[in-house]
Structure 1
Amino acid sequence: MPAPEDALAAMGRAAIHAADVARDVWGLLKDIVFWMFVAPWKRQRAGIRWESVIEQGVRIGWDAIPIVVLINFFIGMISALQSASLLKQFGQLLLIANAVALSMTRELGPLLTAVIVSGRSGSAFTAEIGSMKMAEEVDALSTMGLNPTRFLIVPRILAMAVAVPMLTLVADFMGIFGGWLIAVTVVDLGSWQYLRHTADAIDMGDVMRGLTKSCVFGGIIATVGCYLGVHVEGGAAGVGRSTTNSVVVSIFLVIFANLIFTAFFYVIE
């Protein structure tokens, strides 16, 4: 059992580390806000690098479509089967469409898409920027008078904030399609009945709620991935640790943010 003074020292080191991380994150957020919203209007040749935003957007969004389609298609099928096993006890199998549509647009579509993107692109951000940090390329940008936040981080955050909502729309559609397939082929519901109940169950507010979540989730994933990449230490092993931490922290923060969103929407309804 550690001595009391050792435990106290460990608590002190943890508190100091947490304070350092909070200070660094706050500084990064200020830089992001400045280079994203202030500098493009105040300085010449300090605008957003849209070519980099498009490049990152293709990597985050277009290249992730196959995995998003497959996973959410299967999730929609699973949701329909689970709903059917419960609703058939009450003779309300038509409500499968309502359950699948609402769960996909409000929760599962945005959340699963964010988890996929976190593991696929958030970790890539950390690995790329971390490797650049180890090779002193980030320091070279600063030496040449080029701000690393503007060149490396802002394009990734903007691309993520746009790509994740677009992927969420794909996820919603595929989840509902998977539910429809199960309802028609397994549960033996009418195709038109399923589609009509789906249209009655959701409205534009449900879709916008999910897209709002997705935009915030994308910002969280990109910020965490870039922050951990910039603060990599310890060579190749450090890059690996930071990449793993990027996925873990991003998923935790996304789920926590989803809890806050869900509680907020519950209160205002």
Structure 2
Amino acid sequence: MPGLGVLREIGHLFALAVTVVKLTFRRPFQVREFIEQFWFIASVSILPAMLVTIPFGAVMALQVGSLIEQFGAQSLTGGASVLVMIQQASPLIVSLLISGVAGSAICADLGSRAIREELDAMKVMGVSPVQRLVVPRVLAVVLVALLLNGLVSVVGTLGGYFFTVYMQDGTPGAYVASFSALAQLPDLYISEIKAGIFGFIAGIVAAYRGLNPKGGPKGVGDVVNQSVVFTFLILFFVNTVLTAIYLQLVPSKGM
């Protein structure tokens, strides 16, 4: 039955996530592999993240400013646009780039190793492929996501400031004042929590699909596409859940 197959896949995915968490604290930790993967993921993600964030922040600032202007509350443009960027846009931008760029690379690497039977050879030698290959990659994705989220938040905030002040004739003082009046530290906390969780999900899904390719080299391409699509779907669902929980637990600061 198709439904049982889906549940089985979900169960295997959760089992891999639990195994990765357990093996993270087991020696030996693959420090060199972690550093290499961290550097690779960061190098291929930083520039695209900035290039996506600048126009995204600009469009968001212009749209929010246009809507707020209709209500005569132009002074709140800065706070509203920055809160949207930090709470929602920044983690999603980071997660989509991480899953699309780093996740596809991880999935393709593990998938090619699987079809060459390297993973089976590692198991025969008593080496856990999850501990040797998956754990450092997942942790590298999580760390890059956390750091990249801070960079995207800063770039998006500066972009929103520029377009609000110079394109919509806003005042710098009102922009900063509205941001300080509406923003609070939990907004930054939830942004980093989202980025970490999204990075972990992206790494786990990419690793799971890469460890289980079917159909030879063509199957590797198929699982890469599947991992990106599945990650997008999971991330949007998890983002909705986390946002709903945050809004219920943390009251708005208000003016």
Smaller-chain TM-score bracket = over 0.9
Partner of 1:33: 21
Partner of 1:72: 53
Question: Cα offset for 1:185?
Answer: 1.2
Q: Which amino acid aligns with 1:111?
A: L
Q: Which amino acid aligns with 2:61?
A: A
Alpha-carbon separation, structure 2, partners of 1:176 and 1:250: 26
Question: 2:219 aligned with 1:238, yes or no?
Answer: yes
Alpha-carbon separation, structure 2, partners of 1:34 and 1:211: 22
Alpha-carbon separation, structure 1, partners of 2:35 and 2:106: 15
Larger C-alpha radius of gyration, 1 or 2? 1
Instruction: Structure 1 unaligned segments of length 5 or more: list them.
Output: 1-11, 41-45
SS state of the match for residue 168, structure 2? coil
Alpha-carbon separation, structure 1, partners of 2:137 and 2:237: 22
**Structure 1 segment 49-68 matched on structure 2, within 5 A:** 49-68=30-49
Partner of 1:191: 172
Question: 2:235 aligned with 1:254, yes or no?
Answer: yes
SS state of the match for residue 101, structure 1? helix
CA deviation string 1:2-49 (max 9, x = no partner): xxxxxxxxxx2x134224324422432342132113xx2xxxxx3221
Partner of 1:133: 114
In the alignment, is the contact (CA less than 8 A) between 2:79 and 2:176 conserved in 1?
no
Q: Which amino acid aligns with 1:236?
A: P
Q: Which amino acid aligns with 2:91?
A: P
Partner of 2:204: 223
Alpha-carbon separation, structure 2, partners of 1:21 and 1:163: 27
Instruction: Structure 2 unaligned segments of length 5 or more: list them.
Output: 251-255
Q: Which amino acid aligns with 1:136?
A: E
Q: TM-score, normalised by structure 1?
A: 0.88
SS state of the match for residue 149, structure 2? helix
Alpha-carbon separation, structure 1, partners of 2:177 and 2:32: 42
Alpha-carbon separation, structure 2, partners of 1:62 and 1:77: 24
**Structure 1 segment 139-218 matched on structure 2, within 5 A:** 139-218=120-199
Partner of 1:102: 83
Tell me whether 91-100 or 193-202 shows the greater mean CA deviation: 193-202
- What RMSD, in angstroms, separates the aligned Cα atoms of the two structures? 1.5
The verdict on how the C-alpha distance between 1:62 and 1:198 changes in structure 2, with shifts beyond 3 A counting, is farther
SS state of the match for residue 28, structure 2? coil
Alpha-carbon separation, structure 1, partners of 2:195 and 2:171: 32
Partner of 1:8: none
Q: TM-score, normalised by structure 2?
A: 0.93
In the alignment, is the contact (CA less than 8 A) between 2:90 and 2:153 conserved in 1?
yes
CA deviation string 1:69-120 (max 9, x = no partner): 1111111110111012112222221211011110011111101110111111
Equivalent residues, number: 250
Question: 2:36 aligned with 1:48, yes or no?
Answer: no
Q: Which amino acid aligns with 2:65?
A: A
The verdict on how the C-alpha distance between 1:92 and 1:236 changes in structure 2, with shifts beyond 3 A counting, is same
Q: Percent identity?
A: 29
